[in-house]
């Protein structure tokens, strides 16, 4: 059964660790992440962007697949199925499709409109027992064609959104989706501390988890980050392992072209990435 992310994130915040959100793109991704979370006895959040949802033929397909896979693989650790960077309309579609957690990304709206829309979703999600993530201050880089400049969030705006009763808050602190440029100045811990000061105990979310140095991850967790999103790193390790398989000519040996064989090295590589992240975030044995 899929669960809301509320309880796992509150426990993470109390226990000073973070739960990983790993984005899924297909069946292989989902299977690798679920099996690794189970192996490490860690709670896990499966993130689905609107683009990935469309690729997988719609949110209903995704919810049905994940729900059935949790059951058929005998997964007993807590699993939340979460819409990543949802539009207002996308949030409603995912709620209807059976997601257990939603992110409404209203960061590109004027703050009043972000507040208005978030308020409506808080009401609906609390009626249905779903967790809700809101965003203030856009995350840099590109995701699904949306380019953000990575501005830092205004702590007072964070408080206005947190006070609406969302479950967790993503505040921009100089983090970027995708690879970090060589001249990246690092996370703004000053902003993070100021946001934490305003929002108190609210679990904070760090997007752009790929490529952030371990010491910055640990410091962010010590300042209230309880959920860390990882997408690009799984994509890179999948692509790298697949390329090596093909370059070694393994797809031409025997039945190496069988998609189940062709996709196996990439799926194993994702497991290794997820193991590393769960270890770094400290969520192993916290299920
Ligand atoms: P990365 O792709 O940089 O790991 O970021 C993922 C993310 O934040 C998804 O919302």
User: pLDDT per residue over 87-98, tens digit each?
Assistant: 999 999 999 999
- Provide the whole-model pTM: 0.96
Strand stretches in 177-224, DSSP E: 204-206
101 lines ligand 1 (CB under 6 A): no
Q: What is the pLDDT of residues 156-198, one digit of tens each?
A: 999 999 999 999 999 999 999 888 888 888 999 999 999 999 9
Q: Average model confidence (pLDDT) for the chain?
A: 95
Q: Which residues pair with 147 in a beta bridge?
A: 142
pLDDT digits (tens, 9 = 90+) for 120-164: 999 999 999 999 999 998 777 765 555 555 678 999 999 999 999
Tell me how far the alpha carbon of residue 273 lies from the centroid of ligand 1, in angstroms: 14
- The β-bridge partners of 256 are none
Q: What are the helix and strand counts (H, E) for the chain?
A: 12, 10
Task: Decide whether any atom of ligand 1 lies within 6 Å of the 51 Cβ.
Answer: no
**Ligand 1 nearest atom to the CA of residue 234, by list position:** 4
Confidence of residue 107 (pLDDT cuts 50, 70, 90): confident
User: What's CA 247's distance to the chain center, in Å?
Assistant: 31
Dihedral sign from CA coordinates of 114, 119, 120, 121: positive
- C-alpha of residue 50 to centroid of ligand 1, in Å: 13
Q: For strand 19-23 and strand 225-230, is the pairing parallel, antiparallel, or unpaired?
A: parallel
CA angle 38, 44, 48 (to 5 degrees): 125
* DSSP secondary structure of 122-151: HHHHHHHT-EEEEEES--BEEETTEEE--P
Our mutation pick for probing the ligand 1 site, out of 143, 145, 146, counting the most ligand atoms within 8 A of Cβ, is: 143
User: Residues with catalytic annotation?
Assistant: 84
The pLDDT score that the predictor gives to residue 151 is: 76
190: number of Cβ within 10 Å: 11
For ligand 1, atom 1: residue with the closest CA: 208
Phi/psi of residue 30, nearest 5 degrees: -60, -45
DSSP classification of residue 176: B
């Amino acid at each position: 059964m899929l669960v809301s992310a509320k309880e796992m994130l509150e426990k993470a915040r109390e226990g000073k660790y973070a739960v990983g959100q790993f984005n899924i793109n297909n069946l292989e991704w989902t299977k690798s992440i679920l099996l690794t979370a189970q192996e490490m006895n860690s709670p896990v959040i499966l993130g689905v962007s609107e683009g990935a949802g469309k690729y997988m033929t719609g949110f209903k397909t995704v919810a049905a697949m994940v729900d059935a896979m949790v059951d058929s693989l005998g997964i007993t650790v807590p699993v939340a199925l979460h819409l990543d960077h949802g539009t207002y309309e996308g949030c409603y579609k995912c709620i209807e499709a059976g997601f257990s957690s939603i992110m409404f990304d209203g960061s590109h709206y004027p703050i009043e409109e972000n507040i208005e829309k978030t308020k409506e979703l808080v009401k609906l999600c609390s009626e249905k027992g779903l967790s809700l993530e809101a965003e203030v201050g856009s995350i840099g880089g590109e995701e699904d064609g949306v380019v953000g400049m990575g501005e830092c969030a205004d702590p007072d705006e964070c408080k206005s959104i947190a006070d609406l009763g969302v479950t967790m808050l993503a505040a921009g602190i100089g983090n970027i989706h995708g690879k970090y440029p060589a001249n990246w100045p690092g996370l703004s811990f000053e902003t993070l501390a100021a946001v934490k000061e305003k929002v108190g105990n609210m679990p904070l979310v760090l997007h752009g988890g790929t490529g952030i140095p371990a010491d910055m991850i640990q410091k962010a967790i010590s300042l209230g980050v309880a959920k860390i999103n990882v997408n690009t790193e799984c994509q890179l390790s999948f692509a790298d392992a697949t390329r090596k398989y093909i370059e070694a000519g393994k797809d031409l040996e025997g039945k190496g072209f069988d998609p189940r064989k062709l996709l196996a090295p990439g799926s194993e590589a994702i497991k290794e990435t997820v193991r590393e992240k769960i270890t770094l975030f400290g969520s192993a044995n916290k299920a």
